[in-house]
Amino acid sequence: MVEILKYDIVVLGSGLAGLRAAFQAALTSKDRLRIAVVSKLHAMRSHSVSAEGGISAVLYPKEMNDSIDLHAYDTVKGSDFLADQDAVELLVKLVPEEIRFFDHLGTPWSRRPDGRIAQRPFGGMSVPRAVFAADKTGFFMMSTLYDNLLRFNNVDIYHENMATSILMENGVFRGVAAIDMATGEFRVFLGKAGIIATGGAGRVYSFVTVANSSTGDGVAMAYRAGIPIKDMEFVQFHPTGMVPSGVLITEAARGEGGYLINKEGERFLKRYAPQRMELAPRDIISRAIMTEIKEGRGFVQEESGLEHVLLDLRHLGEEKINERLPMIRELSKKLIGVDPVSEPIPVRPTTHYTMGGVHTDTYGQV
């Protein structure tokens, strides 16, 4: 038997993008619309929870000598001028408002001594503009958003319902077919509008930062339904994946002052990005690390045979590491038995973001 459920909006995915879309639809419709969130995981197990470092936003333009135009320039330059500049312009204009939205919801952003939202430098930034919550930014944003979403009576969240097909009729969205993973029974979610927010496809690679759930389901379903996709050849590699697992060591570790060193004990980025060093864009640092390894200046981990360099945080001191990078210390100690307070962390580039996906306009419409 197939259960048929009728909604106005069906959201595929329960990460930050999916929950944020559902929240906004519920907020603006004032109970007039019924919204279903369909997810193969519990929302608090989505990969958004694992996001660590922060979100770029212009919050203090005069004080930081920053501007929307400078943020846009850094973004376009960091993409080697391949980014859609209309989308970049819209993004950098809206993100400060979004940071304040999450602040008002109760997200515990890290703060300056005067109580204002703190910011730190990330790769490719002309000035520090990464807003963060220690090194658990995604977890705090997700838990805050999820808790607030539960207060809406017109939003139903279907955890552990694996979508299998997007249902289209004459090019018009009609709904989603899914399997209830607890019972094995089929469900059809009929809707007048659909939102695809299913994340990337990083798990097609072996050495990755992403969760086992990042398998590109939404993009594949869209493709099978005749919805155009684009830019799937663009995959971002993060410079610092923990060896041997690939688990992310956040860019915040370098933003707080961490060094990358080769087996000769030198900060080798002086050869590749002498001005920005460890805060160069991710693609530059990833290529630099692989060049060092290929030219014989890397280390080899005996257990895995993986070549790597070292991320050194020792000079930051235990107090700063515990305040700004607590999860990195915890993960490093638990997964590989390395305490970054006293020992460098072995790292190498790891698959991080799937940059392509469903082809939309700047407002996310197909």
Catalytic residue annotation = 238, 254
| Contact assessment for residue 2 and residue 184, using Cβ atoms and an 8 Å cutoff | no
| Contact assessment for residue 194 and residue 169, using Cβ atoms and an 8 Å cutoff | no
Closest to 348 in 3D by CA, of 295, 303, 291, 302 = 291
Residue for token pair 């330059």: 77
Spacing of C-alpha 250 from chain mean position: 11
CA–CA separation, 71 and 194 (whole Å): 31
Backbone φ/ψ region at 296: left (φ over 0), alpha (ψ -120 to 50), beta: left
| Contact assessment for residue 106 and residue 144, using Cβ atoms and an 8 Å cutoff | yes
Burial class (CB in 10 A: 0-12, 13-18, 19+), 328: buried
CA–CA separation, 231 and 219 (whole Å): 12
The contacts of residue 88 (CB under 8 Å, 6+ apart) are: 72, 75, 76
Centre a 10 Å sphere on the Cβ of residue 46 and count the other Cβ atoms it contains. 27
| Contact assessment for residue 146 and residue 19, using Cβ atoms and an 8 Å cutoff | yes
Q: What single DSSP character describes residue 118?
A: P
Spacing of C-alpha 164 from chain mean position: 24
